Amino acid sequence: MREVAFAIPGDPATLTGGYLYARHAMAALPAAGWQPTLVSLPDSFPAPNDAALAATAAIFAGFSADDIVLVDGLAFGAIPAPILQRCKARLAALVHHPLCVESGLDADTAAQLFASERDALAEADAVITTSERTAQRVAEMFDVDTARITVALPGTAPAARAHGSVDATVTLLCVATLTPRKAHDVLIAALSWLDDLPWRLTCIGSVTRDTDTATALKTQIAMLDLGSRVALLGEKSGADLDAAYAGSDAFVLASRDEGYGMAFAEALARGLPIVACAAGAVPDTVPRDAGLLVPVDDVAALSQALRRLITDRALRKTMSDAAWAAGQRLPRWSDTAAKIGGALSPRSAKA
């Protein structure tokens, strides 16, 4: 059994796609011949303070030339290159989404993160991305040789097919942390034009990770008088999350960008038709016959797609069947682990 140190910033139990990927990958890696060991990095990444950088430097200085270290991209791209250069281990970066293209960043922060991630990735022996789209973006943006890049799509566990709502009101489900990139504001605006239709929206995702975004969304919902129709339930997992998927008629998410979109895959696995924006890797994840995809930030187009889905029961059934079929073809976590293991296998040691 080969060993790999998996360096992750903050709390690995965090309920976001990146952390879920890490947890599932760690659980599946032993069956692929790899024994992962969690290495905890400071939780301030991707904006580390001096103390966090000093602690990170000490951690990386402790690795030997015999070690293999997989570093989550939330931290890797923000680690100064000199710290990585002094590390003797074989380094692999796990990139879900380039740090500099996160929505809501000012120009100076985006430029700083771009330079930092470009320099950091130049020190990686291997780069693992969670989609073909992200692999292409990493190669083009940061001039990373495609020979160093491995795509390890997130796995999706088998799930029971959703049975839908128990009344005539179409239940829409959105699973995403409230951040600018997930564009809940666009979704709420689009739904506000559909007050003549029977719908309800359940939003699952942290309302505390970005309090400014959450506060703005709550204000928007109140101003549009949608409080009786929109429920912000916060984070859910396990049986509670499964129940939310099971009782929904469609999955909706207006993300401005996605490196993959694990929630979309989870929706497909349960046979839920999807309404979303054609952002990032979403068109690669959601088949055309299973989803209605519209341009990013186009409230009118999104509202029109939602109206079509809500009013056309036959369309929902057709899309549901297509989603269910696509969901059965999704990779499992064992496939993900095998891809990661292949990327980690040493081909040359650092001097």
Is the pLDDT at 346 greater than 80? The verdict is no
**What CATH number does domain 170-328 carry, 3.30.70.100, 3.40.50.2000, 3.20.20.70, 3.40.50.300?**
3.40.50.2000
- Of 133, 103, 147, 96, give the one whose Cα is nearest residue 117: 96
In the CATH hierarchy, which top-level class contains the domain 2-155+332-344? Answer: alpha beta
- Give me Rg for the CA atoms of the chain: 21
For the chain, which residues make up each domain, given as ranges?
2-155+332-344, 170-328
Would you give the distance in Å from CA 311 to the centre of its chain? 30
pLDDT, averaged across the chain: 95
- Of 237, 256, 180, 242, give the one whose Cα is nearest residue 213: 180
3-class SS of residue 136: helix
The two domains 2-155+332-344 and 170-328 share their CATH topology (first three levels equal): yes
Question: 17-28 and 333-344 are packed helices; what angle lies between their axes, rounded to 10 degrees?
Answer: 80
pLDDT in tens, 280-292: 999 999 999 999 9
Is the pLDDT at 249 greater than 90? The verdict is yes
* pLDDT confidence tier of residue 348, bands split at 50, 70 and 90: very low
Contact 56, 83 (CB under 8 A): yes
Question: 313-328 and 262-269 are packed helices; what angle lies between their axes, rounded to 10 degrees?
Answer: 110
Quick one: what percent of the chain has pLDDT higher than 90? Answer: 92
Q: End-to-end distance of the chain based on CA atoms, in angstroms?
A: 24
Span 185-195, mean pLDDT? 98
pLDDT in tens, 94-114: 999 999 988 888 999 999 999
